[in-house]
């Protein structure tokens, strides 16, 4: 018997039945592409091809197309890499950690978040690959393959190599997790299919799912095992990304708080990106009853918590730099604030530390407009965070004679645009062929969390119950 | 669904029996006797062979302070140092337990967790130890002062004294007063923070306790809503204060050394000890016939918390260690070298990792283990002992140098602090209803299954 306290908000509003859930979520997949979807896909493809041109040009002519110089050898490339990997943390967090913590509100958002994770990791992986300059030789640098390039062997002491293994594992497990979750929904689509093509296509991907008790049992135990596997994985990925910097002896990079602080930052930006996407999806696909204000508030609270953790980490780093008495560290932090890149530092502080604090105000964290706006602000802030850490520490190295300033070229910008194009193209294709919400899991919580159960509660979607009626 | 009633009687009240009291006082008595034996042994020169090790201690001390000899001066070792260090370790450990009790209650409110509501009076009772912990912390700091905290020696800040230490002088503003000029006298800023944090924790705790007890009388959701808001505010205060207190009370012992992770490291250690203590008391109360509604599902979740956060602690420990090891900067590696290269302390590093990671990790791995009271009792006791040694390893090397050890004095102090803590917790637990009958999520807890 499942008992749900009266103080909990309903998670599915509008008095939906099981059939409604199937119909509402399958509709965008089964219907002909809408105009707005076509427009969005076209725009993404434009970004993809425009950026792709510059990326191809860069690969043909070499890394020199980017604004890197002999002091700042890492700038937008690694910034974008860390940024995308960070975004790729939310999906697995929602599906694995929130599953282990039995957070029911995850059911409406996990599918899209997981898809977003996979696409973000693909976008991230592009950066180290193209940064190799000659990616077709990349296998020799990450795998111990016999080669004719002299003593060129993978360096197993390097966190950059650990990244390769960590991210590949993470990507594989996330993909499996996402796909396993899709199987029952694919089976639903297969059973509802009216055309031969879609019946065959969804028939193949649903792996013969028949909905028997035994099948569901297998499905559930696989989900739990994958959740158990991906929980340490999701933490390990950004931990190792933080090692890329923290194991070195560069002022501003070598600090022990990096691993948990990077993980918190990754979840922070990941949730922001989920919100950006879900707020659009819920309107375009008319899913207001499934992605309710309650879901948005929960995500905003996670953003608030992780944003504050990141804030404490900034203050800790800053304080310890002073406390340590190490003049290089002290300079690195003063330089971040007041050096040539002061504008990047203050953009980061405003977007990452100050803006999420607005979510303490209930009116703001339950406002769609403010949530949408702040979710974008947070991701701008998180991009600047990586840029600040990477570039401000590099551009003042130990030899003052080599102090330089980094300015991005058009190729830096357009290669970044390319990953946006890729990300959104993949996401919109996903949103057309897969159900964006996990129907099976939403149905599992429908009975306990349906708004019709409660009287005097918010039953019209997204309208706050008047103060006097609140329980 | 609000009309749902359950056949179980939830009107339980904990009775602090004379038998339990007797046991606690007996432990206290044995503790005092052991402490006295320990003190006598120490005063008569002890049997630990410190004399042979004095040389290495001097060497280490001079390495610590970058060639200047300030590390070695003025710290003439006497048995009182050992007593103060022992008290300081217990101060930290039991402050942590008390604080985590409040933290647990607050987190569960903010996270709207239903499953843990039924036994929330147990962690809630932990907070009653906070005022005592605060007084002890302050008194021990006032008395022990210089024998524990190298930086309190004002001659370190005096360029003419010959003991001048430029690095510690750079930290003057944090310990004494921001912008302090010349040779400081009283660490006002340090005292201020200590008093402010304890005051803050106690006040937040009192409010949470008051609202929670009012709910028993009045019912309704008004108190619940208030508690959520107040818990969130407490968590903000806790987030900042727990890190800073870790710098103040632990990191500043090794005054030259620094690590940005340290605040969260102490938090991780505190949190998992608190979880183990909560689990242990819930299991003992269950065995004594209380908590009729608690079954293996609740225990399973508590076990998962102890298991998960043991791994979390290891993650923090390992990240800090690996980054310092990898970069190999002498100013940072000294912390681990001081411990690993010492005959007294090196074994504790491994004891620490075995008790706090390998043992709980392997013992609580399976589902069945988490659902058995015997397993939980063994693992939680081991974890508590392990984290006591974790704090021992943070405090002892910097304060006792090569005089550290584990003997009658340490054992006696643990028994004294432990029985005092348990006495405070249980006597307060007896003062209110054991189960918060009017908590709006109580039925979720009663019908909890995993």
Q: What is the pLDDT of residues B74-102, one digit of tens each?
A: 456 788 889 999 999 999 999 999 999 99
User: What count of residues does chain A have?
Assistant: 471
The number of C-beta contacts closer than 8 angstroms across A and B is 95
Q: Label residue A2 by pLDDT band (50, 70, 90).
A: low
Least Cα separation, residue B441 to chain A (angstroms) = 5
Instruction: Report how many helices (DSSP H) and strands (DSSP E) chain A contains, helices first.
Output: 19, 0
Closest residue of chain B to A250, computed from CA coordinates: B327
Closest CA to A308 of B235, B113, B108: B235
**Closest partner CB to B260 (pick from A4, A255, A326):** A255
Provide the token pair at B388. Answer: 């006591």
Least confident range from A6-20, A60-74, A365-379, B402-416: namely A6-20
Closest CA to A119 of A414, A421, A441: A421
User: What percentage of chain A has pLDDT greater than the value 70?
Assistant: 94
Q: Judged by CB atoms within 8 Å, which residues 246-265 of B form the interface with A?
A: 247, 258-264
Provide the token pair at B65. Answer: 């302070």
Contacts of A246 in chain B (CB under 8 A): 323
Please give the pLDDT value at position B417: 96
When mean pLDDT is compared over A313-317, A396-400, B55-59, the highest value belongs to A313-317
Handedness of CA A122, A125, A129, A131 (dihedral sign): positive
Closest CA to B194 of B145, B259, B232: B145
Closest CA to B364 of B309, B424, B289: B309
Provide the token pair at A328. Answer: 């290089």
- Interchain pair B329, A249: CB under 8 A: yes
- Alpha-carbon Rg of chain A, whole angstroms? 24
- By the 10 Å C-beta count (0-12 exposed, 13-18 middle, 19+ buried), B265 is classed as buried
Please give the pLDDT value at position B42: 86
Closest CA to A2 of B293, B7, B449: B449
The answer, yes or no, to whether residue B261 has pLDDT greater than 50, is yes
Closest CA to B93 of B317, B251, B266: B266
Contacts of B1 in chain A (CB under 8 A): 3-4, 6, 453
Using left for φ > 0, alpha for ψ between -120 and 50, and beta otherwise, residue B45 falls in left
Contact (Cβ atoms closer than 8 angstroms) between residue A395 and residue A21: no
Q: What's the Cα-to-Cα distance from A425 to each of A112, A116, A420, B377, rounded to whole Å?
A: 14, 11, 8, 54
- Spell out which chain A residues touch chain B, with contact meaning CB-CB distance below 8 angstroms: 1-8, 100, 232, 235, 239, 243, 246-249, 254-260, 308-309, 312-313, 316-317, 320, 323-326, 360, 453, 471
Tokens 């929980």 correspond to A231
Tokens 């189960």 correspond to B435
Using left for φ > 0, alpha for ψ between -120 and 50, and beta otherwise, residue B145 falls in left
Contact (Cβ atoms closer than 8 angstroms) between residue A386 and residue A82: yes
The answer, yes or no, to whether residue A400 has pLDDT greater than 60, is yes
**Which residues neighbour B242 within 8 Å (Cβ) at sequence distance 6 or greater?**
B99, B263, B266, B267, B270
Contacts of B260 in chain A (CB under 8 A): 255-258, 313, 316-317, 320
**Closest partner CB to B447 (pick from A3, A255, A326):** A3
Of A299 and A95, the structure prediction assigns the larger pLDDT to: A299
Provide the token pair at A444. Answer: 């599992």
What residues pair up with A450 in beta bridges, in sequence order?
A: A12
Each domain of chain B, given as residue ranges in start order, spans 18-142+187-446
Q: What is the mean pLDDT of the segment spanning B144-163? A: 88
Instruction: Report how many helices (DSSP H) and strands (DSSP E) chain B contains, helices first.
Output: 18, 0
Distance CA B371, CA B380 (A): 13
Contacts of A453 in chain B (CB under 8 A): 1
Least Cα separation, residue B63 to chain A (angstroms) = 17
Q: Label residue A450 by pLDDT band (50, 70, 90).
A: low
Distance CA B205, CA B187 (A): 27
Q: Judged by CB atoms within 8 Å, which residues 69-128 of B form the interface with A?
A: 112, 114
**Which residues neighbour A277 within 8 Å (Cβ) at sequence distance 6 or greater?**
A112, A116, A427
Q: What is the CATH number of domain A18-144+151-449?
A: 1.20.1630.10
CA contacts within 13 A on the Cβ side of A246: 25
The answer, yes or no, to whether residue A107 has pLDDT greater than 80, is yes
The answer, yes or no, to whether residue A19 has pLDDT greater than 90, is no
Q: What is the mean pLDDT of the segment spanning B15-44? A: 92
Contact (Cβ atoms closer than 8 angstroms) between residue B56 and residue B379: no
CA contacts within 13 A on the Cβ side of A201: 10
- By the 10 Å C-beta count (0-12 exposed, 13-18 middle, 19+ buried), B393 is classed as middle
H helices of B341-430, in order, are: 346-353, 359-363, 367-370, 373-400, 408-429
Q: What's the Cα-to-Cα distance from A217 to each of A20, A209, A220, A225, rounded to whole Å?
A: 25, 12, 5, 12
Own/partner long-range contacts of B420-424 (Cβ < 8 Å, ≥24 apart): B420/B28, B420/B129, B420/B132, B421/B94, B421/B97, B421/B98, B421/B129, B422/B24, B423/B21, B423/B24, B423/B28, B424/B125, B424/B128, B424/B129, B424/B132
The answer, yes or no, to whether residue A204 has pLDDT greater than 70, is yes
Please give the pLDDT value at position A305: 94
Provide the token pair at A65. Answer: 């197309």
Distance from chain centroid for Cα A49: 23
Contacts of A333 in chain B (CB under 8 A): none
Span B272-284, pLDDT tens digits = 999 999 999 999 9
Tokens 């497990």 correspond to A173
Closest CA to A18 of A469, A452, A439: A439
Question: Strand, helix or coil at A450?
Answer: strand
């Amino acid at each position: 018997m499942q008992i749900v306290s009266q103080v909990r908000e309903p998670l599915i509003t509008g008095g939906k039945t099981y059939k409604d859930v199937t119909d509402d979520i399958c509709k965008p997949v089964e219907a002909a592409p809408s105009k707005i979807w076509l427009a969005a896909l076209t725009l993404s493809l434009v970004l993809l091809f425009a950026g792709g041109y510059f990326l191809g040009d860069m690969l043909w002519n070499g890394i020199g197309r980017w604004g890197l110089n002999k002091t700042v050898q890492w700038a937008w490339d690694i910034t974008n890499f860390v940024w995308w990997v960070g975004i790729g943390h939310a999906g697995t967090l929602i599906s694995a950690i929130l599953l282990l913590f039995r957070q029911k509100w995850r059911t409406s958002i996990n599918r899209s978040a997981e898809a977003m994770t996979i696409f973000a990791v693909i976008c991230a992986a592009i950066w180290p690959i193209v940064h190799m300059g000659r990616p077709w030789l990349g296998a020799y640098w990450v795998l111990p393959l016999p080669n004719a390039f002299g003593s060129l062997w993978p360096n197993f002491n390097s966190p950059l190599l650990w990244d390769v293994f960590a991210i590949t594992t993470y990507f594989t497990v996330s993909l499996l997790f996402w796909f396993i979750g899709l199987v029952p929904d694919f089976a639903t689509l297969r059973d509802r299919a009216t055309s031969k093509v879609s019946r065959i296509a969804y028939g193949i991907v649903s792996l013969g799912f028949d909905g028997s008790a035994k099948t569901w049992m297998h499905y559930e135990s696989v989900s739990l095992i994958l959740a158990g596997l991906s929980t340490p994985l999701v933490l390990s990925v950004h931990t190792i990304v933080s090692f890329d910097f923290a194991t070195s002896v560069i002022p501003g990079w070598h600090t022990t708080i990096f691993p948990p602080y990077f993980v918190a930052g990754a979840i922070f930006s990941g949730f922001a990106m989920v919100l950006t996407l879900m707020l659009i999806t819920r309107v375009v696909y008319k899913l207001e009853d499934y992605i309710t204000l309650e879901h948005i508030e929960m995500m905003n609270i996670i953003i608030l918590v992780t944003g504050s953790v990141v804030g404490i980490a900034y203050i800790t780093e800053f304080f310890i730099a002073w406390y340590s008495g190490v003049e290089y560290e002290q300079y690195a932090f003063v330089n971040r604030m007041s050096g040539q890149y002061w504008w990047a530092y203050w953009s980061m502080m405003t977007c990452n530390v100050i803006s999420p604090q607005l979510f303490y105000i209930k009116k703001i964290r339950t406002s769609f407009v403010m949530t949408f706006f702040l979710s974008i602000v947070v991701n701008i802030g998180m991009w600047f965070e990586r840029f600040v850490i990477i570039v401000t520490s590099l551009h003042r190295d130990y030899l003052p004679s080599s102090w330089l300033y980094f300015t991005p070229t058009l190729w830096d910008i357009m290669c970044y645009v390319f990953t946006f194009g890729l990300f959104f193209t993949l996401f919109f294709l996903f949103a057309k062929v897969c159900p964006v919400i996990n129907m099976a899991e939403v149905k599992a919580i429908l009975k306990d969390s349906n708004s019709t159960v409660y009287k005097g509660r918010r039953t019209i979607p997204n309208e706050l119950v008047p103060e006097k009626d609140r329980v | 669904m609000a009309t749902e009633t359950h056949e179980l009687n939830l009107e339980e009240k904990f009775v602090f029996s004379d038998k339990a009291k007797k046991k606690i006082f007996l432990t206290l008595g044995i503790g005092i006797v052991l402490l006295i034996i320990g003190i006598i042994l120490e005063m008569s020169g002890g049997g630990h062979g410190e004399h042979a090790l004095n040389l290495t201690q001097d060497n280490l001390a001079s390495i610590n302070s970058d060639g200047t000899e300030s590390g070695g001066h003025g710290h003439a070792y006497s048995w009182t140092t050992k007593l103060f260090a022992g008290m300081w370790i217990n101060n930290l450990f039991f402050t942590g337990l008390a604080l985590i009790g409040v933290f647990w209650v607050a987190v569960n409110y903010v996270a709207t967790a239903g499953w843990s509501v039924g036994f929330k009076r147990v962690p809630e009772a932990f907070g009653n130890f906070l005022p005592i912990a605060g007084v002890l912390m302050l008194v021990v700091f006032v008395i022990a002062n210089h024998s524990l905290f190298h930086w309190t020696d004002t001659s370190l800040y005096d360029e003419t004294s010959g003991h001048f230490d430029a690095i510690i002088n750079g930290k003057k503003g944090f310990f004494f007063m921001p912008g302090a000029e010349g040779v400081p006298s009283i660490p006002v800023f340090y005292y201020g923070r200590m008093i402010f944090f304890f005051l803050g924790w106690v006040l937040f705790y009192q409010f949470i306790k008051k609202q929670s007890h009012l709910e028993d009388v009045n019912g309704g959701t008004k108190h619940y809503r208030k508690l959520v808001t107040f818990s969130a505010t407490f968590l903000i205060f806790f987030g900042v204060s727990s890190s800073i207190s870790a710098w103040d009370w632990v990191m500043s012992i090794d005054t030259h050394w620094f690590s940005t992770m340290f605040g969260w490291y102490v938090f991780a250690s505190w949190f998992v000890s608190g979880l183990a203590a909560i689990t242990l008391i819930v299991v003992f109360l269950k065995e004594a016939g209380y908590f009729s509604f608690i079954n293996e599902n609740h225990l399973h979740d508590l076990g998962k918390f102890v298991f998960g956060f043991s791994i979390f602690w290891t993650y923090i420990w390992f990240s800090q260690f690996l980054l310092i090891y990898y970069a190999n900067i002498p100013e940072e590696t000294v912390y681990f070298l001081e411990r690993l290269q010492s005959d007294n302390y090196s074994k504790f590093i491994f004891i620490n990792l075995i008790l706090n990671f390998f043992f709980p990790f392997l013992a609580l791995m399976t589902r069945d283990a988490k659902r058995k009271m015997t397993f939980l009792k063994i693992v939680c006791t081991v974890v508590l002992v392990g984290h006591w040694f974790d704090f021992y390893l943070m405090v002892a090397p910097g304060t006792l140098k090569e005089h550290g050890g584990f003997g009658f004095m340490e054992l006696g102090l643990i028994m004294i602090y432990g029985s005092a803590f348990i006495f405070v917790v249980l006597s307060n637990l007896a003062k209110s209803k054991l189960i918060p009958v009017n908590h709006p999520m109580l039925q979720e807890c009663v019908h909890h299954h995993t």
